[in-house]
Structure formats: structure tokens, C-alpha cells
């Protein structure tokens, strides 16, 4: 292990985190709230620690896979430990474990919260909380791009471990260009949502906070009632649209910009992504119209919002969906395991893997009747290697395994099945709210310290997304 290099890179990561703290510090100064000093202390601590780490003298520039993994893993933990300082020092979150949980939840774009009353928090804190979503949203992708030049070729491993989905192979030859495309799209879409939310009657502060939460598919809000507190169909639909945009592959926006309409329309992951979403929206709209809302438009807006929110792993809510029927809740629960597209900010298993696995199952079923037929699984006209298929299958099974054992451990809290299972599904998939004990009207505050640490670990694991384990 090249530990000197690993820790030096942590220094750069901390400097970026510190830069991120400047905006909330300014906000707290201008809104003249109580969190100015805490932000100043946090920023100073982070800058100093970061600076000291970057002073490490490198003797060996070589970076191996192991080192790349260590950089990324430690990077998330360092970012969360220092990112938690403003919450802890300001007293907004009195327990450090809670502050750590909240920050992990932010950077991993989960949006699970341990804060029972958000509305009393100072603006700087609320801004920082959502800003972690936005920073985390594109993962350490941005960090990786900034850090890459210092790493030389070894930086590839960082990128490989952090690119949001199994698309690295395509990107490798022009890694910096692609990263630039990804975050340019990211910034343009951010601005668009910000402006559109202003039109909906949100204050600039609320607009920016919710835009951060949407783009990063995070889910932190300024209101205890989440998006439902605004009770505006315009806002519901705008945020639904931007959640869906954030859950799609960002490289498609570049293709659109280049005028490659046909390729975008033919993209099989996009089709499946929208197909699953459409199926869910329609099924829930019909079910809920008859069982709860008795109004087609009302059913549609909540169905569209919750389906998009859960599938893209955002976690905003417009309604306490725990009141829905088991069928509609079941669809949401299923969507928790689908997630966003590759190259998006969404987490969970991801549509591309679901697509490939569905094709694999189809092929294996065909073999029952035609045992000697040799058919390869194809994606976009290209055959997928058999060992890649095994790799993705293993990813899926490992995901289910972690979900099962995680749920068993969480059930030791003495809560019900749905609370335990959805808490694990919602953290591992970086979603946020689940059902029952962690439903839309609840928080993660009541878990024990051990469970909070376990769930933090699951959020990190989910965001880390085993990506390096399933690239092709």
C-alpha cells in the first residue's frame, strides 16, 4: 500500500470539502444567524488538516488497485468526518455519531435524516446539509478529476471506483473530457431547476436547497413535511421531472446536445428506465384513485412524484405513502431495488444491471427448450462477455445478501419487518425514507448508536456501489 499517497490525496479531498463550506459560511454571515463561528471553526479545522496532509512528501508515485480503493473508501469517511463538524459544533446535532450519520447520508446522496425538526435549524446549516448532496451527487467524480493530474495514470483506479455505474470502459480513453461533459450537464440542469422552482413561489434559498437535493438524488429538504409542505402541483411536477432527469444517464444529455436524437431514443437502458417508471406511475395512479384519493389528478401527481422519487433514489415525499395499499407500497419497495441509470446520480442496483440480468434470464430460459443453442447476451448490438455476466449476477446476489443480513441485524432493534427491511433497502440503495419505522413521517433518530453506524456503513457501501466490482 502506498499510504503516503493515499493520505496526501485525502488532504486534497479535505481542501475541496473546505471550499464547499465557504458558501454556507457566507449564508450564515448574511442571514446573521448563530452558526457563523461554528462554520468558521469547521472550515479552519478542515483547511488546516487538509493542508497538513497535502504536505506529505511522496517518494513513490505508483498507485495500485488496492491504493485506489483505499483512497476512495477513506475519502468518503474523511469527507463525512470533517463535513459533520458544522452540525456538531453548532449544536444543531448534539451527538457526533448522529452528525456523522447525517453527513454520510448527505455525501452519499441518501437523504436519511436523524433530525426530527428541520425547520428550527439555521440557514447556513440547512444549506450545508443539502450542499453535501450536490457535492456527493456526482460522487467523487469531480474530486477525481481535480485530483487526477496529481495521481498520473494511477488516477484511473480512483475514477474506476467512483464513476457512477458500469460505464467506465467507454469513458476511459477520454476520461477528463467525459468528466467535463458530465458536470457541465450537471450545472446546467441545476440552474434550470433553480429558476423553475423560483417561478413556483419558492424563496431563492428554498429553491437552491431543493435543487441540490434533486440533482444529487439526495432528498434533504428545508421542511419537516418535505415537498408535500409546499402543496403545489407545479412544484411537485417540476421536481418530479428533475428527479427523472437526474436519474438518467448524463452522457445522454451530451448526445442530445450533439444532436444525436436517434441514439438517445434507441438507448435500451433509457427505455427500460422510463418503462419501469411509467408502469409504476400508471399502476399506482389507478390503485390509489380507487382506494384513497378518488381523484385522478391527485392520484397521478402523488404517484408520479413518489415513483420518481423512490426509483431515482432521491427520497423526497409529497404524501405519507405509508397510508397507501400494500400493492402500491409494494411497487415502491420494488423500485427501491431498481435505482437510477448508469452515469446518473441515482444509486441502488441500477437499471443497466437489471436490463442485462433480465436478458441473461431470458437466454437461460430459452436454453430449457433449446439446450444446445449458443446465444450471447447483447447490449446495444454488442455481445457481453460471459464473465461480465457472472460479475453482474454476483453483484445482484451480493446486494440481496447484504440486504438480508443487514435487515436481520437491524431487526434486533425490536422493530417490525417492514421497518427493518426498508431501513436497510433505503440506506443501501441511498434512498432515504422507507416504510413503517422509517416511513415518510419518521426519522432515523430512534435507532441505537450501533444501528446508526451499521446504516452509515450501508450508505457508504451503497454509494461506493461496488462499482469497481462490476465495471465492463
48 touching a second copy, by CB under 8 A: no
404 touching a second copy, by CB under 8 A: yes
| Footprint on residues 330-389 left by a second copy (CB under 8 A) | 330-331, 333-334, 357, 360-361, 363-365, 367-369, 371, 386-387, 389
289 touching a second copy, by CB under 8 A: no
Nearer to a second copy, 161 or 252 (CB): 161
Lookup: cell for 176: 477528463
Do residues 431 and 348 touch, judged by C-beta distance below 8 A?
A: yes
Nearest distance, CB of residue 326 and a second copy, angstroms: 4
Stretch that binds a second copy, among 25-33, 42-50, 262-270, 329-337 (CB under 8 A): 329-337
Out of 246, 407, 427, 456, the only residue in the binding site for a second copy (CB under 8 A) is: 407
87 touching a second copy, by CB under 8 A: no
Out of 257, 417, 449, 450, the only residue in the binding site for a second copy (CB under 8 A) is: 417
Nearest distance, CB of residue 190 and a second copy, angstroms: 33
411 touching a second copy, by CB under 8 A: yes
Residues 6+ apart with CB under 8 A from 398: 466
234 touching a second copy, by CB under 8 A: no
Nearest distance, CB of residue 378 and a second copy, angstroms: 15
As a whole number of angstroms, the distance between CA 433 and CA 315 comes to 6
Out of 188, 408, 449, 450, the only residue in the binding site for a second copy (CB under 8 A) is: 408
Applying CB under 8 A, the site for a second copy has a residue count of: 48
Nearest distance, CB of residue 377 and a second copy, angstroms: 9
Q: Which residues are at the interface with a second copy (CB under 8 A)?
A: 65-66, 69, 325-327, 329-331, 333-334, 357, 360-361, 363-365, 367-369, 371, 386-387, 389-391, 393-398, 400-401, 404, 407-408, 411-412, 414-418, 420, 435, 468-469
Amino acid at each position: 500500500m502506498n499510504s503516503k499517497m493515499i493520505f496526501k490525496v485525502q488532504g486534497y479531498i479535505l481542501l475541496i470539502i473546505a471550499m464547499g463550506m465557504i458558501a454556507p459560511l457566507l449564508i450564515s454571515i448574511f442571514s446573521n444567524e448563530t452558526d457563523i463561528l461554528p462554520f468558521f471553526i469547521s472550515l479552519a479545522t478542515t483547511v488546516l488538516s487538509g493542508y497538513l496532509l497535502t504536505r506529505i512528501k511522496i517518494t513513490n508515485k505508483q498507485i495500485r488497485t488496492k491504493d485506489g480503493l483505499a483512497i476512495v473508501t477513506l475519502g468518503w469517511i474523511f469527507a463525512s468526518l470533517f463535513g459533520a463538524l458544522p452540525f456538531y459544533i453548532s449544536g444543531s446535532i448534539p451527538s457526533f455519531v448522529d452528525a456523522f450519520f447525517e453527513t454520510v447520508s448527505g455525501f452519499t446522496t441518501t437523504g436519511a435524516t436523524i433530525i426530527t425538526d428541520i425547520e428550527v435549524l439555521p440557514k447556513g446549516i440547512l444549506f450545508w446539509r443539502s450542499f453535501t448532496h450536490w457535492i456527493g451527487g456526482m460522487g467523487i467524480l469531480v474530486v477525481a478529476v481535480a485530483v487526477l493530474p496529481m495521481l498520473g495514470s494511477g488516477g484511473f483506479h480512483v475514477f474506476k471506483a467512483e464513476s457512477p455505474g458500469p460505464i467506465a470502459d467507454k469513458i476511459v480513453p477520454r476520461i477528463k473530457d467525459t468528466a467535463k461533459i458530465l458536470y457541465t450537464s450537471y450545472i446546467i440542469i441545476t440552474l434550470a431547476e433553480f429558476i423553475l422552482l423560483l417561478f413556483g413561489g419558492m424563496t431563492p434559498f428554498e429553491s437552491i436547497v431543493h435543487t441540490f437535493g434533486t440533482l444529487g438524488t439526495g432528498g434533504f429538504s428545508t421542511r419537516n413535511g418535505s415537498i408535500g409542505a409546499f402543496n403545489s402541483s407545479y412544484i411537485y411536477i417540476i421536481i418530479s421531472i428533475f428527479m427523472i432527469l437526474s436519474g438518467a444517464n448524463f452522457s445522454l444529455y451530451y448526445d442530445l446536445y450533439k444532436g444525436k436524437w436517434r441514439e438517445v431514443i434507441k438507448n435500451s437502458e433509457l427505455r427500460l428506465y422510463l418503462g419501469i417508471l411509467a408502469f409504476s406511475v400508471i399502476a399506482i395512479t389507478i390503485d390509489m384513485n380507487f382506494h384513497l384519493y378518488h381523484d385522478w389528478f391527485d392520484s397521478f401527481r402523488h404517484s408520479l412524484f413518489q415513483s420518481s422519487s423512490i426509483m431515482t433514489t432521491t427520497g423526497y415525499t409529497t404524501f405519507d405513502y405509508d397510508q397507501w395499499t400494500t400493492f402500491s407500497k409494494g411497487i415502491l419497495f420494488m423500485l427501491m431495488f431498481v435505482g437510477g441509470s448508469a452515469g446518473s446520480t441515482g444509486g441502488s442496483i441500477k437499471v443497466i444491471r437489471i436490463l442485462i440480468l433480465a436478458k441473461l434470464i431470458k437466454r437461460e430460459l430459452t436454453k430449457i427448450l433449446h439446450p444446445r443453442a449458443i446465444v450471447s447476451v447483447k447490449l446495444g448490438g454488442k455481445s457481453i462477455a460471459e464473465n461480465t455476466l457472472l460479475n453482474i449476477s454476483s453483484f445482484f446476489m451480493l446486494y440481496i445478501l447484504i440486504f438480508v443480513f443487514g435487515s436481520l441485524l437491524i431487526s434486533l432493534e425490536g422493530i417490525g419487518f417492514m421497518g427493518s427491511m426498508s431501513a436497510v433497502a433505503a440506506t443501501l440503495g441511498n434512498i432515504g425514507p422507507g416504510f413503517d419505522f422509517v416511513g415518510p413521517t419518521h426519522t432515523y433518530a430512534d435507532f441505537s448508536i450501533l444501528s446508526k453506524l451499521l446504516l452509515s456503513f450501508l450508505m457508504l457501501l451503497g454509494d461506493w456501489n461496488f462499482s469497481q466490482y462490476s465495471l465492463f
